[in-house]
Amino acid sequence: MISQPAQKYRRFDAIQLPDRQWPNVVLDKAPIWMSTDLRDGNQALIDPMSVDTKMRFFLALVDMGFKEIEVGFPSASETDFNFVRRLIEENRIPDDVTIEVLTQAREDLIARTVESLKGAKRAILHMYNPIAPAFREIVYRTDKAGVKEIAERGTRWVKEMTAKQPETEWFYQYSPETFSSAEIEFAKEVCDAVTAIWQPTPDHKMIINLPATVEMATPNTYADQVEWMHRHLNNRDSIILSVHPHNDRGTAVAAAELAVMAGADRVEGCLFGNGERTGNVDLITLAMNLYSQGIHPGVDFTQMDQIRQLFEETTQLPVHPRHPYAGELVFTAFSGSHQDAIKKGLAVQKADDYWQVPYLPIDPADVNRSYDAVVRVNSQSGKGGVSFLLQQHAGFELPRRLQIEFSKVVQKVSDSSGREINADNIATLFDKEYVQVNSPYQYMGSHIVDEESHQVLSHVVVKYQQQRIELKGQGNGPLDAVAKAISEHIGETVTVADYHEHGMSAGSDATAVSYVEVKVGEHATVFGVGQDQNITTSAIKALLNGVNRFINGTNPEIVENVAAG
């Protein structure tokens, strides 16, 4: 980069439109969409699509609900010519879909283009010619009158040649190419001249398309240009005003949205923003932005993952994992505070209420994404994410303090590996750490006797140092009785500081899960978790597991006592 960019680059001269109306417009309906994936998008590929690939993409676009599809540039490419022929001859175009083809304003090219469409029920013939100063001066070495004449002459040829194929219902689209950098009054002059020749009517409109062939300025500037044209074009009631934003400054989506606010009726773009250089405007983001505001876009991206796969296979281009609404990671939270908020939001979100889950602009289920992908755990994650995955994946509903305790266990593992931990690993870790802690006491069986005096006698058989022993105790309830029995065995008071339980799964496989927070002497509490078909047994197992964890992990003295028997 140079130190004085002003010596090399000029600021874009915005047009004057002090009474602009677009900032006050609220979008309340979708524009007409035109997918140019098979033309502009295809022209930008390293390996352009074959006829078969184009057919696959076309049928997918139809399935998504696109009603206008630019299918190629038949005068420039034999593949495109053949593809248009196949679409027509194999009767692949649904009655409510109109195909569009592009041509330059040359007689032979228009003739070849019209020929490609022979037999089509309906078609949009799209002619363009560059009109901006750089093109006039450098590329065509002509003046304003010269480029205007190209547009007029081309339109006359289109009119004459299409009239000779009356079996097709023809629509005409004209693009003053490089509109974004052309003098605005001149753009209007050329478009008016073209309109005067074509003579559209309110019942049979023509399309005037205003391409930001190269995105030159901030989106508000493009919106001003579009509003100016919207207000000044002749025969506005006979024109469908279309925009075609490219993304050179990375603001094509905003430019398209503001352009529609400024009066555009139609938007041309590509899926995932494919297209020359930095691409055309991304139709998926545009449509989903509307959807997230409660406006149905009229196209359907429910099968987002399949659409992404189709796109990647047909274009050989990867979709960025953070691509809005569609990327692999866009509904995923790694950070602990985000996970916590999402988990709480999902828990209270009701199916028939407005969507209000923190950090998720739309419900991932609307684009067929499961909630599994919403929360992923790495060293940045906290208790919310860990317990959410454990609940989704293994059905455990941890009490809050256990969530905190277990998330530290998970964090330690992910910190030392430096990697993400998936739901399977989290469930295994939980099982090992809290449920299958079979030493020094391994549960083998129990017998609980409820005495009339409201005292309970417990007989718990455990495997201890390779031997089968019986722990006997008496207490206010089964857990209290077992705690007393263990207290006696380890020589320290064991009490139950907290207890939670819930059922898991339905039918004959139903089990109970118990979470016991155990306090041994004056030491900090530890958790144990038990699972069994019998609720009392699951509680006893949880207590033993808590004691085992305490002995194994925290207190060498007790370990010695226990070892001494």
Contact residues for ligand KIV, defined by CB under 6 A:
40, 102, 128, 175, 177, 209, 211, 213, 244, 246
Question: For residues 502-531, which are near Zn ion according to CB under 5 A?
Answer: none
Q: What are 207's strand-pairing partners? A: 173, 240
Q: How far is the CB of 153 from Zn ion (least distance, A)?
A: 23
42 binds, among Zn ion, ligand KIV, none (CB under 5 to 8 A by kind): none
555 binds, among ligand KIV, Zn ion, none (CB under 5 to 8 A by kind): none
The 8 Å CB, 24+ separation contacts for 285-293 are 285/253, 285/323, 285/324, 285/325, 286/253, 286/256, 286/257, 287/30, 287/33, 288/324, 288/325, 288/362, 288/367, 289/253, 289/257, 290/27, 290/30, 291/362, 291/366, 292/361, 292/362, 293/27
Q: Which amino acid is at 488?
A: E
Q: Which residues of 113-131 are buried (b: 16+ CB within 10 A; e: fewer)?
A: bbebbeebeebbbbbbbbb
Q: Is 244 annotated as a binding residue?
A: yes
Q: How far is the CB of 244 from Zn ion (least distance, A)?
A: 6
Q: 184 and 216 in contact (C-beta within 8 Å)?
A: no
Q: Which amino acid is at 158?
A: V
Q: Which amino acid is at 164?
A: K
Compare residues 222 and 430 and give the one whose CB is closer to Zn ion: 222
Q: Which residues of 228-263 are buried (b: 16+ CB within 10 A; e: fewer)?
A: bbbeebebbebbbbbbbbbbbbebbbbbbbbbbbbb
Q: Is 40 annotated as a binding residue?
A: yes
Question: For residues 25-64, which are near Zn ion according to CB under 5 A?
Answer: 40
Q: How far is the CB of 71 from Zn ion (least distance, A)?
A: 15
Compare residues 239 and 471 and give the one whose CB is closer to ligand KIV: 239
Helix axes 144-163, 184-198, angle to 10 degrees: 20
Contacts with Zn ion: how many residues (CB under 5 A)?
Answer: 1
Separation CA 423–CA 417 (nearest Å): 16
Q: How far is the CB of 276 from ligand KIV (least distance, A)?
A: 7
- Token pair belonging to 491: 């020589």
Q: In what order do the strands lie in the sheet with 526-532?
A: 494-504, 511-520, 526-532
299 binds, among Zn ion, ligand KIV, none (CB under 5 to 8 A by kind): none
Which value, to the nearest 10 degrees, does the dihedral of the CA atoms of residues 337, 342, 344, 346 take?
-170
- Token pair belonging to 81: 């010519």
Compare residues 195 and 209 and give the one whose CB is closer to ligand KIV: 209
Separation CA 350–CA 345 (nearest Å): 10
Q: How far is the CB of 347 from ligand KIV (least distance, A)?
A: 47
* Gap between the terminal Cα atoms of the chain: 77
Q: How far is the CB of 70 from Zn ion (least distance, A)?
A: 10
Neighbours of 46 (CB within 10 A): 7
Q: 217 and 239 in contact (C-beta within 8 Å)?
A: no
Q: Is 246 annotated as a binding residue?
A: yes
Compare residues 207 and 543 and give the one whose CB is closer to Zn ion: 207
148 binds, among ligand KIV, Zn ion, none (CB under 5 to 8 A by kind): none
Compare residues 49 and 526 and give the one whose CB is closer to Zn ion: 49
177 binds, among Zn ion, ligand KIV, none (CB under 5 to 8 A by kind): ligand KIV
Q: How far is the CB of 11 from ligand KIV (least distance, A)?
A: 22
Compare residues 211 and 546 and give the one whose CB is closer to ligand KIV: 211
Q: How far is the CB of 63 from Zn ion (least distance, A)?
A: 24
Compare residues 100 and 340 and give the one whose CB is closer to ligand KIV: 100
Q: Is 352 annotated as a binding residue?
A: no
Separation CA 329–CA 291 (nearest Å): 20
103 binds, among ligand KIV, Zn ion, none (CB under 5 to 8 A by kind): none
Compare residues 209 and 235 and give the one whose CB is closer to ligand KIV: 209
57 binds, among Zn ion, ligand KIV, none (CB under 5 to 8 A by kind): none
Q: Show binding-site residues for Mg(2+).
A: 40, 244, 246, 280
Judged by the rule CB under 5 A, the positions of this chain that interact with Zn ion are 40
Binding-site entries: 40, 244, 246, 280
